[in-house]
Amino acid sequence: MEEKMSWTAADALDYKGFPADKSRTGGWVAAVLILGIEISERLSTMGIAVNLVTYLVDTMHLPSSTSANIVTDFIGTSFLLCLLGGFFADSFLGRYKTIAIFASIQTLGIVALAISVKLPQLRPPHCDITAANNNCKQADEFQMGFLYLALYIIALGIGGLKSSVSGFGTDQFDEKDDKEKAQMAYFFNRFFFFISTGTLMAVTVLVYIQDQVDRSLAYGICSISFVIAILVFLSGTKRYRYKKSTGSPIVQIFQVIMAAIRKRKMPLPLDIALLYENYPEASRIAHTDQFCFLDKAAIATEEDFERNAPAGSVPNPWKLCSVTRVEEVKMMVKLLPIWATTIMFWTIYAQMLTFSVEQASTMERSIGKFQIPAGSLTVFFVLAILITLAFNDRVIMPVWKKFKGQPGFTNLQRIAIGLVLSTLGMAAAAVTERKRLSVAKEMRAMSTGPLPISVYLLIPQFFLVGSGEAFIYTGQLDFFITQSPKGMKTMSTGLFLSTLALGFFVSSFLVSIVRRVTGSKDGQGWLADNINRGKLDYFYALLSVLSFINFVAYLVCGRWYKPRKHTKTSNGFSAEDRC
Protein backbone atom coordinates (compact mmCIF):
# COMPACT_ATOMS: atom_id res chain seq x y z
CA MET A 1 0.00 0.00 0.00
CA GLU A 2 2.82 2.40 0.91
CA GLU A 3 4.56 1.62 -2.39
CA LYS A 4 1.36 2.37 -4.29
CA MET A 5 0.81 5.65 -2.45
CA SER A 6 4.31 6.85 -3.32
CA TRP A 7 3.29 6.88 -6.96
CA THR A 8 0.33 9.19 -6.34
CA ALA A 9 0.47 12.94 -5.78
CA ALA A 10 -0.79 14.22 -2.45
CA ASP A 11 -4.28 15.78 -2.53
CA ALA A 12 -4.38 15.65 -6.34
CA LEU A 13 -6.73 13.92 -8.76
CA ASP A 14 -6.54 13.07 -12.45
CA TYR A 15 -9.16 14.16 -14.99
CA LYS A 16 -11.33 11.13 -14.12
CA GLY A 17 -11.36 11.95 -10.42
CA PHE A 18 -8.96 9.19 -9.34
CA PRO A 19 -5.73 9.80 -7.33
CA ALA A 20 -3.22 11.33 -9.72
CA ASP A 21 -0.46 8.99 -10.87
CA LYS A 22 2.87 10.86 -10.77
CA SER A 23 4.24 8.97 -13.76
CA ARG A 24 1.34 10.06 -15.98
CA THR A 25 0.31 13.45 -14.64
CA GLY A 26 1.82 16.75 -13.58
CA GLY A 27 5.46 17.77 -13.71
CA TRP A 28 7.18 20.03 -16.19
CA VAL A 29 5.27 18.77 -19.24
CA ALA A 30 1.95 19.82 -17.76
CA ALA A 31 3.38 23.10 -16.42
CA VAL A 32 4.74 24.11 -19.84
CA LEU A 33 1.33 23.56 -21.46
CA ILE A 34 -0.14 25.95 -18.90
CA LEU A 35 2.58 28.60 -19.33
CA GLY A 36 1.66 28.97 -23.00
CA ILE A 37 -1.54 30.69 -21.85
CA GLU A 38 0.51 33.11 -19.75
CA ILE A 39 2.67 34.11 -22.74
CA SER A 40 -0.42 34.90 -24.83
CA GLU A 41 -2.05 36.82 -21.97
CA ARG A 42 1.03 38.96 -21.37
CA LEU A 43 1.61 39.50 -25.11
CA SER A 44 -1.95 40.72 -25.57
CA THR A 45 -2.34 42.73 -22.38
CA MET A 46 0.93 44.65 -22.66
CA GLY A 47 0.63 44.97 -26.42
CA ILE A 48 -2.66 46.76 -25.87
CA ALA A 49 -1.76 48.73 -22.72
CA VAL A 50 1.59 50.28 -23.71
CA ASN A 51 0.31 51.70 -26.99
CA LEU A 52 -3.35 52.37 -26.24
CA VAL A 53 -2.77 55.94 -25.08
CA THR A 54 -1.29 56.92 -28.46
CA TYR A 55 -4.32 55.45 -30.25
CA LEU A 56 -6.72 57.36 -28.01
CA VAL A 57 -4.87 60.66 -28.55
CA ASP A 58 -3.91 60.36 -32.23
CA THR A 59 -6.88 58.44 -33.64
CA MET A 60 -9.79 58.95 -31.23
CA HIS A 61 -8.68 62.60 -30.64
CA LEU A 62 -9.09 62.51 -26.86
CA PRO A 63 -7.21 64.78 -24.43
CA SER A 64 -4.01 63.28 -23.03
CA SER A 65 -5.28 63.19 -19.42
CA THR A 66 -8.54 61.50 -20.47
CA SER A 67 -6.57 58.96 -22.51
CA ALA A 68 -4.26 58.23 -19.58
CA ASN A 69 -7.24 57.62 -17.29
CA ILE A 70 -8.88 55.26 -19.78
CA VAL A 71 -5.69 53.17 -19.89
CA THR A 72 -5.18 53.12 -16.11
CA ASP A 73 -8.86 52.32 -15.45
CA PHE A 74 -8.68 49.44 -17.94
CA ILE A 75 -5.56 47.91 -16.37
CA GLY A 76 -6.79 48.58 -12.84
CA THR A 77 -10.09 46.85 -13.53
CA SER A 78 -8.24 43.89 -15.05
CA PHE A 79 -6.29 43.28 -11.85
CA LEU A 80 -9.24 44.00 -9.58
CA LEU A 81 -11.27 41.35 -11.38
CA CYS A 82 -8.64 38.82 -10.28
CA LEU A 83 -10.51 38.71 -6.97
CA LEU A 84 -13.70 37.77 -8.83
CA GLY A 85 -11.85 35.20 -10.92
CA GLY A 86 -10.31 33.69 -7.80
CA PHE A 87 -13.73 33.50 -6.14
CA PHE A 88 -15.20 31.58 -9.09
CA ALA A 89 -12.19 29.27 -9.25
CA ASP A 90 -12.29 28.48 -5.52
CA SER A 91 -16.05 28.21 -5.14
CA PHE A 92 -17.50 26.87 -8.39
CA LEU A 93 -15.37 26.20 -11.45
CA GLY A 94 -11.95 25.07 -10.29
CA ARG A 95 -8.76 26.45 -11.84
CA TYR A 96 -8.80 24.37 -15.03
CA LYS A 97 -12.30 25.44 -16.12
CA THR A 98 -11.64 29.02 -15.02
CA ILE A 99 -8.58 29.26 -17.27
CA ALA A 100 -10.36 27.72 -20.27
CA ILE A 101 -13.46 29.92 -19.94
CA PHE A 102 -11.75 33.23 -19.25
CA ALA A 103 -9.09 32.67 -21.92
CA SER A 104 -11.94 32.30 -24.42
CA ILE A 105 -13.56 35.48 -23.07
CA GLN A 106 -10.31 37.43 -23.50
CA THR A 107 -9.96 36.13 -27.06
CA LEU A 108 -13.45 37.43 -27.90
CA GLY A 109 -12.54 40.80 -26.42
CA ILE A 110 -9.38 41.07 -28.53
CA VAL A 111 -11.36 40.20 -31.67
CA ALA A 112 -13.83 42.97 -30.78
CA LEU A 113 -10.93 45.40 -30.27
CA ALA A 114 -9.48 44.47 -33.68
CA ILE A 115 -12.86 45.23 -35.25
CA SER A 116 -13.04 48.53 -33.35
CA VAL A 117 -9.73 49.81 -34.74
CA LYS A 118 -10.36 48.43 -38.26
CA LEU A 119 -13.80 49.74 -39.21
CA PRO A 120 -13.89 53.47 -40.18
CA GLN A 121 -17.37 53.76 -38.66
CA LEU A 122 -15.91 53.06 -35.22
CA ARG A 123 -13.43 55.94 -35.17
CA PRO A 124 -13.66 59.70 -35.98
CA PRO A 125 -12.41 61.18 -39.29
CA HIS A 126 -8.64 61.46 -39.65
CA CYS A 127 -7.01 64.84 -39.03
CA ASP A 128 -3.65 66.27 -37.99
CA ILE A 129 -3.80 66.82 -34.23
CA THR A 130 -0.39 68.53 -34.25
CA ALA A 131 -1.60 71.31 -36.50
CA ALA A 132 -2.16 74.71 -34.89
CA ASN A 133 -5.81 75.39 -34.01
CA ASN A 134 -6.90 71.96 -35.23
CA ASN A 135 -10.61 71.16 -35.27
CA CYS A 136 -10.28 67.40 -34.85
CA LYS A 137 -13.57 65.73 -34.01
CA GLN A 138 -13.49 63.54 -30.92
CA ALA A 139 -14.89 60.02 -30.99
CA ASP A 140 -18.65 59.97 -30.33
CA GLU A 141 -20.48 57.96 -27.68
CA PHE A 142 -21.17 54.98 -29.94
CA GLN A 143 -17.53 54.72 -31.03
CA MET A 144 -16.24 55.01 -27.46
CA GLY A 145 -18.94 52.61 -26.25
CA PHE A 146 -17.81 49.86 -28.63
CA LEU A 147 -14.17 50.45 -27.62
CA TYR A 148 -15.07 50.27 -23.92
CA LEU A 149 -17.03 47.06 -24.51
CA ALA A 150 -14.00 45.41 -26.14
CA LEU A 151 -11.58 46.63 -23.46
CA TYR A 152 -13.66 45.44 -20.53
CA ILE A 153 -14.37 42.05 -22.06
CA ILE A 154 -10.58 41.73 -22.23
CA ALA A 155 -10.33 42.93 -18.61
CA LEU A 156 -12.78 40.22 -17.51
CA GLY A 157 -10.68 37.60 -19.28
CA ILE A 158 -7.47 38.87 -17.69
CA GLY A 159 -9.05 38.76 -14.23
CA GLY A 160 -10.03 35.12 -14.58
CA LEU A 161 -6.72 34.04 -16.07
CA LYS A 162 -4.29 35.77 -13.71
CA SER A 163 -6.15 34.46 -10.66
CA SER A 164 -5.65 30.83 -11.69
CA VAL A 165 -2.71 30.31 -14.07
CA SER A 166 0.09 30.45 -11.49
CA GLY A 167 -1.92 28.40 -8.99
CA PHE A 168 -2.82 25.71 -11.52
CA GLY A 169 0.84 25.58 -12.55
CA THR A 170 1.95 24.90 -8.97
CA ASP A 171 -0.76 22.24 -8.68
CA GLN A 172 1.31 20.14 -11.09
CA PHE A 173 4.01 19.64 -8.44
CA ASP A 174 3.71 17.64 -5.21
CA GLU A 175 4.91 19.70 -2.24
CA LYS A 176 5.38 16.51 -0.19
CA ASP A 177 7.86 15.15 -2.72
CA ASP A 178 11.30 16.73 -2.23
CA LYS A 179 12.20 16.45 -5.91
CA GLU A 180 8.97 18.01 -7.13
CA LYS A 181 9.09 20.67 -4.41
CA ALA A 182 12.47 21.79 -5.78
CA GLN A 183 11.00 21.84 -9.28
CA MET A 184 8.19 24.09 -8.02
CA ALA A 185 10.73 26.72 -6.94
CA TYR A 186 12.11 26.73 -10.47
CA PHE A 187 8.57 27.02 -11.79
CA PHE A 188 8.14 30.44 -10.13
CA ASN A 189 11.37 31.62 -11.77
CA ARG A 190 10.23 30.32 -15.16
CA PHE A 191 6.80 31.86 -14.64
CA PHE A 192 8.26 35.33 -14.12
CA PHE A 193 10.59 34.76 -17.08
CA PHE A 194 7.62 33.89 -19.31
CA ILE A 195 5.84 37.06 -18.16
CA SER A 196 8.89 39.13 -19.09
CA THR A 197 9.29 37.32 -22.42
CA GLY A 198 5.69 38.03 -23.37
CA THR A 199 6.10 41.66 -22.35
CA LEU A 200 9.31 42.01 -24.37
CA MET A 201 7.61 40.65 -27.49
CA ALA A 202 4.66 42.98 -26.92
CA VAL A 203 6.66 46.21 -26.57
CA THR A 204 8.89 45.47 -29.56
CA VAL A 205 7.36 43.34 -32.31
CA LEU A 206 3.69 43.94 -31.55
CA VAL A 207 3.99 47.70 -30.99
CA TYR A 208 5.99 48.04 -34.22
CA ILE A 209 3.26 46.24 -36.18
CA GLN A 210 0.62 48.51 -34.60
CA ASP A 211 2.44 51.73 -35.54
CA GLN A 212 4.09 50.83 -38.83
CA VAL A 213 1.86 48.17 -40.42
CA ASP A 214 -1.70 47.88 -39.13
CA ARG A 215 -3.07 48.00 -35.59
CA SER A 216 -5.91 45.59 -36.36
CA LEU A 217 -3.36 43.08 -37.74
CA ALA A 218 -1.45 43.23 -34.44
CA TYR A 219 -4.61 42.49 -32.48
CA GLY A 220 -5.44 39.72 -34.94
CA ILE A 221 -2.06 38.12 -34.15
CA CYS A 222 -2.95 38.29 -30.44
CA SER A 223 -6.26 36.56 -31.13
CA ILE A 224 -4.61 33.78 -33.12
CA SER A 225 -1.94 33.27 -30.45
CA PHE A 226 -4.66 32.92 -27.84
CA VAL A 227 -6.57 30.35 -29.89
CA ILE A 228 -3.39 28.30 -30.31
CA ALA A 229 -2.57 28.64 -26.59
CA ILE A 230 -6.08 27.49 -25.62
CA LEU A 231 -5.83 24.43 -27.92
CA VAL A 232 -2.42 23.57 -26.46
CA PHE A 233 -3.81 24.03 -22.95
CA LEU A 234 -6.81 21.78 -23.63
CA SER A 235 -4.53 19.12 -25.14
CA GLY A 236 -3.05 18.59 -21.69
CA THR A 237 -6.40 17.78 -20.02
CA LYS A 238 -5.42 14.15 -19.37
CA ARG A 239 -1.96 15.19 -18.20
CA TYR A 240 -2.95 17.71 -15.52
CA ARG A 241 -3.35 17.22 -11.79
CA TYR A 242 -6.45 18.73 -10.24
CA LYS A 243 -6.92 19.90 -6.64
CA LYS A 244 -10.25 19.79 -4.85
CA SER A 245 -11.77 23.17 -4.05
CA THR A 246 -11.77 24.01 -0.33
CA GLY A 247 -14.19 26.91 -0.67
CA SER A 248 -13.62 30.61 -1.04
CA PRO A 249 -11.36 32.26 1.58
CA ILE A 250 -13.46 35.42 1.17
CA VAL A 251 -16.49 33.55 2.50
CA GLN A 252 -14.44 32.17 5.40
CA ILE A 253 -13.28 35.67 6.33
CA PHE A 254 -16.84 37.00 6.32
CA GLN A 255 -17.93 34.06 8.47
CA VAL A 256 -15.42 35.00 11.18
CA ILE A 257 -16.39 38.68 11.03
CA MET A 258 -20.13 37.94 11.19
CA ALA A 259 -19.71 35.46 14.06
CA ALA A 260 -17.66 38.02 16.02
CA ILE A 261 -20.27 40.74 15.42
CA ARG A 262 -23.07 38.43 16.59
CA LYS A 263 -21.22 37.86 19.88
CA ARG A 264 -19.77 41.35 20.30
CA LYS A 265 -21.44 41.80 23.71
CA MET A 266 -20.21 38.49 25.11
CA PRO A 267 -17.10 38.56 27.36
CA LEU A 268 -14.09 36.48 26.42
CA PRO A 269 -13.30 33.57 28.78
CA LEU A 270 -10.39 34.09 31.17
CA ASP A 271 -8.89 30.83 29.93
CA ILE A 272 -8.27 31.16 26.20
CA ALA A 273 -8.12 27.36 25.93
CA LEU A 274 -11.90 27.33 26.39
CA LEU A 275 -12.40 28.84 22.94
CA TYR A 276 -13.72 26.48 20.30
CA GLU A 277 -11.18 24.50 18.25
CA ASN A 278 -11.87 21.58 15.92
CA TYR A 279 -8.66 21.43 13.86
CA PRO A 280 -6.23 18.51 14.31
CA GLU A 281 -3.47 19.54 16.72
CA ALA A 282 -0.78 19.23 14.05
CA SER A 283 -2.45 21.85 11.83
CA ARG A 284 -3.61 24.31 14.50
CA ILE A 285 -2.42 27.91 14.58
CA ALA A 286 -1.37 29.31 17.97
CA HIS A 287 -3.60 31.96 19.50
CA THR A 288 -2.35 35.57 19.48
CA ASP A 289 -3.49 38.57 21.50
CA GLN A 290 -3.89 40.94 18.55
CA PHE A 291 -7.37 41.88 17.27
CA CYS A 292 -9.04 40.22 20.28
CA PHE A 293 -12.48 41.27 19.05
CA LEU A 294 -12.30 38.51 16.43
CA ASP A 295 -11.73 35.92 19.19
CA LYS A 296 -15.41 36.26 20.08
CA ALA A 297 -16.20 34.28 16.94
CA ALA A 298 -14.74 31.23 18.76
CA ILE A 299 -16.97 31.50 21.86
CA ALA A 300 -19.16 28.38 21.79
CA THR A 301 -22.84 28.59 22.74
CA GLU A 302 -25.74 26.14 22.45
CA GLU A 303 -27.32 28.21 19.68
CA ASP A 304 -24.28 27.59 17.47
CA PHE A 305 -25.23 23.92 17.03
CA GLU A 306 -28.40 22.50 15.53
CA ARG A 307 -30.89 21.19 18.04
CA ASN A 308 -30.93 17.41 18.50
CA ALA A 309 -27.64 17.23 16.60
CA PRO A 310 -25.32 14.34 17.52
CA ALA A 311 -22.29 15.02 19.70
CA GLY A 312 -19.30 16.27 17.78
CA SER A 313 -21.44 17.75 15.00
CA VAL A 314 -20.12 20.68 13.00
CA PRO A 315 -21.55 24.06 14.10
CA ASN A 316 -22.97 26.73 11.86
CA PRO A 317 -19.84 28.46 10.46
CA TRP A 318 -21.64 31.83 10.43
CA LYS A 319 -22.14 31.57 14.21
CA LEU A 320 -19.07 29.73 15.50
CA CYS A 321 -15.52 29.52 14.11
CA SER A 322 -12.50 27.67 15.38
CA VAL A 323 -9.48 29.44 16.90
CA THR A 324 -7.41 28.39 13.89
CA ARG A 325 -9.94 29.92 11.50
CA VAL A 326 -9.95 33.13 13.55
CA GLU A 327 -6.14 33.25 13.57
CA GLU A 328 -6.10 32.83 9.79
CA VAL A 329 -8.23 35.96 9.48
CA LYS A 330 -5.94 37.78 11.93
CA MET A 331 -2.96 36.88 9.75
CA MET A 332 -4.70 38.39 6.74
CA VAL A 333 -5.57 41.56 8.68
CA LYS A 334 -1.90 41.98 9.68
CA LEU A 335 -0.97 42.08 6.00
CA LEU A 336 -3.15 45.12 5.29
CA PRO A 337 -0.74 47.92 6.40
CA ILE A 338 2.01 46.54 4.14
CA TRP A 339 -0.60 46.04 1.42
CA ALA A 340 -1.76 49.66 1.66
CA THR A 341 1.75 51.15 1.52
CA THR A 342 2.71 49.27 -1.66
CA ILE A 343 -0.14 50.71 -3.74
CA MET A 344 1.80 53.91 -4.44
CA PHE A 345 4.48 52.05 -6.39
CA TRP A 346 1.91 50.87 -8.94
CA THR A 347 0.54 54.41 -9.23
CA ILE A 348 4.01 55.44 -10.39
CA TYR A 349 4.25 52.35 -12.60
CA ALA A 350 1.07 53.52 -14.37
CA GLN A 351 2.89 56.63 -15.60
CA MET A 352 5.32 54.43 -17.56
CA LEU A 353 2.41 53.16 -19.67
CA THR A 354 0.69 56.51 -20.16
CA PHE A 355 2.40 59.89 -19.87
CA SER A 356 5.91 58.50 -20.44
CA VAL A 357 4.75 56.93 -23.71
CA GLU A 358 3.13 60.22 -24.70
CA GLN A 359 6.39 62.03 -23.89
CA ALA A 360 8.22 59.63 -26.20
CA SER A 361 5.76 60.32 -29.03
CA THR A 362 6.87 64.00 -29.08
CA MET A 363 10.64 63.30 -29.10
CA GLU A 364 13.24 62.34 -31.71
CA ARG A 365 13.11 58.54 -32.07
CA SER A 366 14.97 57.90 -35.31
CA ILE A 367 17.84 55.45 -35.76
CA GLY A 368 18.93 56.18 -39.32
CA LYS A 369 15.78 55.66 -41.39
CA PHE A 370 14.10 53.54 -38.73
CA GLN A 371 11.54 55.23 -36.46
CA ILE A 372 11.21 53.66 -33.01
CA PRO A 373 7.53 53.38 -32.01
CA ALA A 374 6.77 55.42 -28.88
CA GLY A 375 5.31 52.40 -27.10
CA SER A 376 8.50 50.42 -27.70
CA LEU A 377 10.42 52.67 -25.30
CA THR A 378 9.03 50.45 -22.54
CA VAL A 379 11.55 47.86 -23.74
CA PHE A 380 14.03 49.64 -21.45
CA PHE A 381 11.58 49.01 -18.65
CA VAL A 382 11.56 45.26 -19.37
CA LEU A 383 15.34 45.15 -19.81
CA ALA A 384 15.76 46.87 -16.44
CA ILE A 385 13.68 44.11 -14.83
CA LEU A 386 15.69 41.32 -16.46
CA ILE A 387 19.06 42.93 -15.70
CA THR A 388 18.09 43.61 -12.08
CA LEU A 389 16.84 40.05 -11.57
CA ALA A 390 20.05 38.62 -13.04
CA PHE A 391 22.26 40.95 -10.97
CA ASN A 392 20.35 40.11 -7.80
CA ASP A 393 20.55 36.38 -8.49
CA ARG A 394 24.23 36.24 -9.54
CA VAL A 395 25.82 39.00 -7.43
CA ILE A 396 23.73 40.31 -4.55
CA MET A 397 22.41 36.98 -3.24
CA PRO A 398 25.81 35.18 -3.16
CA VAL A 399 27.53 38.17 -1.52
CA TRP A 400 24.70 38.63 0.97
CA LYS A 401 24.79 34.95 1.87
CA LYS A 402 28.57 35.02 2.33
CA PHE A 403 28.69 38.04 4.66
CA LYS A 404 25.23 38.02 6.25
CA GLY A 405 24.42 34.31 6.21
CA GLN A 406 21.07 35.03 4.51
CA PRO A 407 20.02 34.22 0.91
CA GLY A 408 19.60 37.80 -0.22
CA PHE A 409 17.29 40.57 0.96
CA THR A 410 14.17 39.74 2.95
CA ASN A 411 10.79 40.29 1.30
CA LEU A 412 10.20 43.51 3.28
CA GLN A 413 13.65 44.81 2.33
CA ARG A 414 12.98 44.12 -1.34
CA ILE A 415 9.71 46.04 -1.13
CA ALA A 416 11.54 48.96 0.51
CA ILE A 417 14.16 49.01 -2.27
CA GLY A 418 11.41 49.04 -4.88
CA LEU A 419 9.71 52.01 -3.23
CA VAL A 420 12.98 53.97 -3.07
CA LEU A 421 13.79 53.30 -6.74
CA SER A 422 10.31 54.37 -7.85
CA THR A 423 10.65 57.63 -5.91
CA LEU A 424 13.98 58.33 -7.62
CA GLY A 425 12.39 57.37 -10.94
CA MET A 426 9.73 60.07 -10.60
CA ALA A 427 12.35 62.63 -9.60
CA ALA A 428 14.35 61.76 -12.73
CA ALA A 429 11.16 61.96 -14.82
CA ALA A 430 10.46 65.47 -13.51
CA VAL A 431 13.97 66.65 -14.47
CA THR A 432 13.74 65.12 -17.94
CA GLU A 433 10.29 66.59 -18.56
CA ARG A 434 11.48 70.06 -17.57
CA LYS A 435 14.20 69.78 -20.20
CA ARG A 436 11.71 68.53 -22.81
CA LEU A 437 9.29 71.36 -22.07
CA SER A 438 12.04 73.96 -22.44
CA VAL A 439 12.75 72.64 -25.94
CA ALA A 440 9.01 72.58 -26.73
CA LYS A 441 8.72 76.21 -25.65
CA GLU A 442 11.54 77.21 -27.98
CA MET A 443 9.96 75.30 -30.90
CA ARG A 444 6.36 76.43 -30.30
CA ALA A 445 6.32 78.89 -33.19
CA MET A 446 8.20 76.56 -35.52
CA SER A 447 7.70 73.02 -36.84
CA THR A 448 4.96 70.84 -35.33
CA GLY A 449 6.97 67.64 -35.87
CA PRO A 450 9.02 65.75 -33.25
CA LEU A 451 11.00 67.93 -30.89
CA PRO A 452 14.78 68.02 -31.49
CA ILE A 453 15.52 66.18 -28.25
CA SER A 454 16.55 62.53 -27.95
CA VAL A 455 14.03 60.04 -26.63
CA TYR A 456 16.88 58.29 -24.81
CA LEU A 457 16.62 60.94 -22.09
CA LEU A 458 13.62 58.93 -20.85
CA ILE A 459 15.78 55.86 -20.14
CA PRO A 460 16.61 56.80 -16.49
CA GLN A 461 12.95 56.94 -15.42
CA PHE A 462 12.15 53.67 -17.24
CA PHE A 463 15.23 51.96 -15.80
CA LEU A 464 14.72 53.14 -12.20
CA VAL A 465 11.03 52.18 -12.05
CA GLY A 466 11.73 48.91 -13.92
CA SER A 467 14.44 47.96 -11.44
CA GLY A 468 12.04 48.89 -8.66
CA GLU A 469 9.45 46.50 -10.07
CA ALA A 470 11.96 43.64 -10.10
CA PHE A 471 12.42 44.10 -6.34
CA ILE A 472 8.89 44.97 -5.29
CA TYR A 473 7.07 42.36 -7.42
CA THR A 474 9.13 39.47 -6.10
CA GLY A 475 9.11 40.94 -2.58
CA GLN A 476 5.34 41.37 -2.52
CA LEU A 477 4.68 37.93 -3.98
CA ASP A 478 7.02 36.31 -1.45
CA PHE A 479 5.58 38.30 1.46
CA PHE A 480 1.91 37.68 0.73
CA ILE A 481 2.40 33.96 0.07
CA THR A 482 4.72 33.13 2.99
CA GLN A 483 2.96 35.30 5.58
CA SER A 484 -0.59 34.16 4.79
CA PRO A 485 -2.38 31.05 6.09
CA LYS A 486 -1.93 27.86 4.10
CA GLY A 487 -5.62 27.75 3.24
CA MET A 488 -5.66 31.33 1.95
CA LYS A 489 -2.76 31.36 -0.53
CA THR A 490 -5.12 32.14 -3.44
CA MET A 491 -6.68 34.95 -1.43
CA SER A 492 -3.29 36.42 -0.56
CA THR A 493 -2.22 36.32 -4.21
CA GLY A 494 -5.41 38.17 -5.09
CA LEU A 495 -4.62 40.68 -2.35
CA PHE A 496 -1.20 41.26 -3.93
CA LEU A 497 -2.72 41.74 -7.39
CA SER A 498 -5.26 44.17 -5.95
CA THR A 499 -2.40 46.56 -5.11
CA LEU A 500 -1.72 46.78 -8.84
CA ALA A 501 -5.39 47.48 -9.51
CA LEU A 502 -5.68 50.17 -6.86
CA GLY A 503 -2.40 51.73 -7.99
CA PHE A 504 -3.87 52.35 -11.44
CA PHE A 505 -7.12 53.65 -9.96
CA VAL A 506 -5.21 56.02 -7.68
CA SER A 507 -3.37 57.25 -10.77
CA SER A 508 -6.69 58.02 -12.48
CA PHE A 509 -7.93 59.76 -9.33
CA LEU A 510 -4.80 61.93 -9.05
CA VAL A 511 -4.94 62.86 -12.73
CA SER A 512 -8.59 63.92 -12.35
CA ILE A 513 -7.88 65.95 -9.19
CA VAL A 514 -4.79 67.66 -10.64
CA ARG A 515 -6.58 68.45 -13.87
CA ARG A 516 -9.53 69.94 -11.98
CA VAL A 517 -7.39 71.98 -9.58
CA THR A 518 -4.80 73.28 -12.07
CA GLY A 519 -6.81 73.26 -15.30
CA SER A 520 -8.67 76.05 -17.04
CA LYS A 521 -11.47 76.42 -19.55
CA ASP A 522 -9.08 76.34 -22.52
CA GLY A 523 -7.76 72.87 -21.55
CA GLN A 524 -4.47 74.10 -20.08
CA GLY A 525 -2.91 73.42 -16.67
CA TRP A 526 -0.42 70.86 -15.44
CA LEU A 527 -2.04 68.15 -17.56
CA ALA A 528 -3.01 70.11 -20.65
CA ASP A 529 -4.71 68.51 -23.66
CA ASN A 530 -1.38 68.95 -25.43
CA ILE A 531 1.46 67.97 -23.07
CA ASN A 532 3.78 70.48 -24.78
CA ARG A 533 1.60 73.23 -23.27
CA GLY A 534 1.29 71.66 -19.83
CA LYS A 535 3.40 71.19 -16.69
CA LEU A 536 3.83 67.43 -16.58
CA ASP A 537 7.09 67.95 -14.67
CA TYR A 538 5.08 69.37 -11.75
CA PHE A 539 2.88 66.26 -11.77
CA TYR A 540 5.92 63.99 -11.71
CA ALA A 541 7.40 66.04 -8.85
CA LEU A 542 4.12 65.68 -6.94
CA LEU A 543 4.25 61.90 -7.38
CA SER A 544 7.84 61.86 -6.15
CA VAL A 545 6.88 63.74 -2.96
CA LEU A 546 3.84 61.50 -2.35
CA SER A 547 6.00 58.43 -2.91
CA PHE A 548 8.53 59.64 -0.33
CA ILE A 549 5.77 60.21 2.24
CA ASN A 550 4.41 56.75 1.46
CA PHE A 551 7.89 55.25 1.96
CA VAL A 552 8.09 56.76 5.45
CA ALA A 553 4.68 55.25 6.23
CA TYR A 554 5.91 51.91 4.91
CA LEU A 555 8.93 52.00 7.25
CA VAL A 556 6.57 52.53 10.20
CA CYS A 557 4.34 49.64 9.09
CA GLY A 558 7.32 47.39 8.41
CA ARG A 559 8.67 48.06 11.89
CA TRP A 560 5.25 47.26 13.41
CA TYR A 561 4.87 44.02 11.48
CA LYS A 562 6.31 40.98 13.23
CA PRO A 563 6.42 37.53 11.59
CA ARG A 564 4.31 34.99 13.42
CA LYS A 565 6.03 32.74 15.95
CA HIS A 566 5.02 29.11 15.68
CA THR A 567 5.93 27.91 19.17
CA LYS A 568 3.08 26.02 20.76
CA THR A 569 2.20 24.46 24.06
CA SER A 570 0.74 20.99 24.31
CA ASN A 571 -2.79 22.33 23.88
CA GLY A 572 -1.90 24.10 20.64
CA PHE A 573 -1.71 27.64 22.05
CA SER A 574 1.32 29.86 22.47
CA ALA A 575 2.52 29.95 26.05
CA GLU A 576 2.81 33.75 26.11
CA ASP A 577 -0.31 34.60 24.07
CA ARG A 578 -3.09 35.94 26.26
CA CYS A 579 -5.77 38.53 25.52
DSSP 3-state of 326: helix
Strands in 8-13's sheet, in edge-to-edge order, are: 19-21, 8-13, 242-243
Q: Does residue 256 share a domain with residue 158?
A: no
pLDDT(220) > 50: yes
By DSSP bridging, strand 19-21 and strand 8-13 are antiparallel
Among candidate residues 182, 214, 245, the one where a domain is terminated:
245
Domain assignment of residue 1, yes or no: no
**C-alpha torsion sign, points 164, 168, 169, 174:** positive
Q: Does residue 357 share a domain with residue 306?
A: no
Among candidate residues 213, 245, 277, the one where a domain is terminated:
245
**Burial of residue 149, with CB atoms counted within 10 A of its CB: 0-12 exposed, 13-18 middle, 19 or more buried:** middle
Under 8 Å between Cβ of 321 and 277? no
Strand (E) or helix (H) holding 452: strand 451-454
| Residues above pLDDT 90, as percent of the chain | 21
Domain assignment of residue 335, yes or no: no
Strand (E) or helix (H) holding 104: helix 94-118
Q: Does residue 469 share a domain with residue 347?
A: yes
507-542: pLDDT as tens digits: 989 988 998 888 765 557 788 877 888 888 999 999
DSSP 3-state of 248: coil
Segments forming the whole domain that contains residue 49: 11-127+136-245
Domain assignment of residue 4, yes or no: no
Q: What is the CATH number of the domain that holds 229?
A: 1.20.1250.20
Q: Does residue 278 share a domain with residue 392?
A: no
pLDDT(568) > 70: no
319-374: pLDDT as tens digits: 888 888 888 889 888 899 999 999 999 999 988 878 888 888 888 888 777 777 77
Q: Residue 152 and residue 45: Cα distance in Å, rounded?
A: 12
Domain count, the chain: 3
**Burial of residue 16, with CB atoms counted within 10 A of its CB: 0-12 exposed, 13-18 middle, 19 or more buried:** exposed
Q: Does residue 241 share a domain with residue 263?
A: no
pLDDT of residue 575: 34
Q: Does residue 281 share a domain with residue 211?
A: no
Q: Does residue 255 share a domain with residue 239?
A: no
Among candidate residues 226, 245, 264, the one where a domain is terminated:
245
- Per the model's pLDDT, the better-predicted residue between 124 and 403 turns out to be 124
Q: Does residue 351 share a domain with residue 283?
A: no
DSSP type of residue 202: I
Q: Does residue 555 share a domain with residue 465?
A: yes
**Burial of residue 257, with CB atoms counted within 10 A of its CB: 0-12 exposed, 13-18 middle, 19 or more buried:** middle
